Structure 1
Amino acid sequence: MQTSAPERTTTRPAFAIGTTPWAIVRLVGAAAILAAVVNQLAVTMGNALQATTPYASHVPTVAANFLSFFTIESNIWSAVMLVIVAVWSLRSTGSVTPEPRWIAILLACGSTYMIVTGIVYNTLLRGIELPQGTTVAWANEMMHVVGPLLMLADVLFAPRRRCLGWGVVAITAVFPIVWAAYTLIRANLIINPRTGTRGWYPYPFLDPANVGGYGGVAAYIAAIAVAILAVGAGVVWVSRKRGS
């Protein structure tokens, strides 16, 4: 399957936003996203350290659970890619060469995951208590609203974007498939820090007990897979319209 479009070149800097200003936006956004992740992790780990039961105070499990949220992984992925592409663009200021293909693909994946995270959280999970401990309000909004909007803006407005092939849509689906398999396999191997019973799921719709069994889980996963492919296709389509 083709994963990239033939490279095109351009001789005119037809960008509405300059490379340096947007690089600064990316760096500031990445810093804010990472600060939100670290703040939420600190609070979650603080709760574990103060817990009085063996399962709630088991720091390695609590930390692994925190890092098992798709939201956390998507935010870390996106922040890292924002830093990488910002540094690259600052080092090549004055050029009109589009971003390297590997950066463009990984950035497209991060954008897809963050946009889907924003959609899923704000349509299915807002107001539902998640099993990460006390939620830090500003960090929660940063990771589920501001971060996804920043990545959407990056898709729409960032200069020097590369035109991607339609095969990249399939690439965006790889990590979510691996994550879903990992989550469902790991779930029944873990003692829930809150209840002390076996079974821990990062999101309610992945717990068979909440959605009528594994058939319900499969339906939710299928719906989210469709959303990821649709958003991924949108990200690639924009790259083909804007990129070079």
Structure 2
Amino acid sequence: MRLLFVILRIVMAFAIAIAIVAQLAHSVSFLQGTSGFDQAFFVTNFFSFFTVDSNAASVVVLLAGAALGIWRTGNTNAATATATDPLLYTTVRAAVVTYMVTTGIVYNLLLRPLSLPQGQTLEWSNEILHVVAPLYLLLDWLFAPGRARLNYRRLWAIVSFPIVWVIYTLIRGPLAIDASTGKPWYPYPFLNPAASANGYVSVSFYVVLIALVISALGVGVIWVSRRAARIST
């Protein structure tokens, strides 16, 4: 069982990494030379997307999990080979699973109907980052061996990054003026007060809604960990 998930984690980590790099390179190439294009500004914006941040964190978590699996698979000590993963790793893994599932839900419910920039977005990369990766991270959490039992107090660790990200986004938004449009830049339209007649009231509604979703999913992820620690080899 461990060896199977070692292979799956490595494959998925590389698929996500390739999808991120390919989308970034394609977008830069597509926009290079257009009026007002600032490469440094664009790259900063690219890594200001919650989706990109969550997927990048997934690569690290999956490779770390694969390394743990390889170490345990090759360990002749029975106690070590069947032990649960370190609590810190499991907490970070739980957080990333929560973010990725949130990414999948928010994208497919709120953002999928929006038209994508023609020629700028790689469809296959988009599907990996918003559909394939979230589904795999969820299945990995449910079935991969080594998952430690988490206390519900760990929910604070899970929600801390989204809180920081929202604060960063709302503070940076009015200051990040896109030279090509002359308007403030926000990663998602529902966080842009100028995109709604209700301004920050609408933004607050979506922030609270997504906060509730992340909190609920975080509780669910912790609950799964408490059902039983997966230590099968």
Fold shared, TM-score > 0.5 on shorter chain: yes
Identity %: 43
Q: CA deviation at 1:47?
A: 2.3
Deviations 1:29-84 (A, max 9, x none): 11101111011001111123231x2x3x2110000000000000000001111001
Match of 1:60 in 2: 40
Amino acid of the residue matched to residue 209 of structure 2?
A
Match of 2:148 in 1: 162
Amino acid of the residue matched to residue 82 of structure 1?
L
Match of 2:6 in 1: 23
Amino acid of the residue matched to residue 24 of structure 2?
L
Deviations 1:82-110 (A, max 9, x none): 00111011111151110111110111111
Is 1:131–1:202's contact at 8 Å kept on the other side of the alignment?
Answer: no
Residues of 2 paired with 1:59 and 1:150: CA distance? Answer: 32
Match of 1:230 in 2: 216
Secondary structure of 2:194's partner? coil
Residues of 2 paired with 1:193 and 1:158: CA distance? Answer: 46
Deviations 1:152-188 (A, max 9, x none): 1011101111011101112111000100010111111
CA RMSD after TM alignment: 1.6
The change in CA–CA distance for 1:193 and 1:202 in structure 2 (over 3 A counts) is farther
Moved over 3 A (4+): 129-133
The change in CA–CA distance for 1:131 and 1:113 in structure 2 (over 3 A counts) is farther
Match of 2:16 in 1: 33
Match of 1:122 in 2: 108
Match of 1:13 in 2: none
The answer to whether 1:199 aligns with 2:184 is yes
Unaligned runs of 5+ in 1: 1-17
Residues of 2 paired with 1:65 and 1:131: CA distance? Answer: 15
Secondary structure of 2:150's partner? coil
Amino acid of the residue matched to residue 29 of structure 2?
G
Amino acid of the residue matched to residue 88 of structure 1?
L
Match of 1:214 in 2: 200
Residues of 2 paired with 1:49 and 1:134: CA distance? Answer: 11
Among 66, 86, 91, the alignment partner of 1:86 is 66
Residues of 2 paired with 1:221 and 1:130: CA distance? Answer: 23
Secondary structure of 1:25's partner? helix
Among 32, 35, 49, the alignment partner of 1:49 is 32
Q: CA deviation at 1:130?
A: 5.7
Amino acid of the residue matched to residue 69 of structure 2?
S
Residues of 1 paired with 2:21 and 2:201: CA distance? Answer: 35
Q: CA deviation at 1:133?
A: 7.5
Amino acid of the residue matched to residue 48 of structure 1?
L
Amino acid of the residue matched to residue 205 of structure 1?
F
Amino acid of the residue matched to residue 155 of structure 1?
W
Q: CA deviation at 1:190?
A: 1.3
Q: CA deviation at 1:213?
A: 0.7
Among 66, 82, 87, the alignment partner of 1:101 is 87
Unaligned runs of 5+ in 2: 76-80
The change in CA–CA distance for 1:190 and 1:130 in structure 2 (over 3 A counts) is farther
TM-score normalised by the chain length of structure 2: 0.92
Secondary structure of 1:92's partner? helix
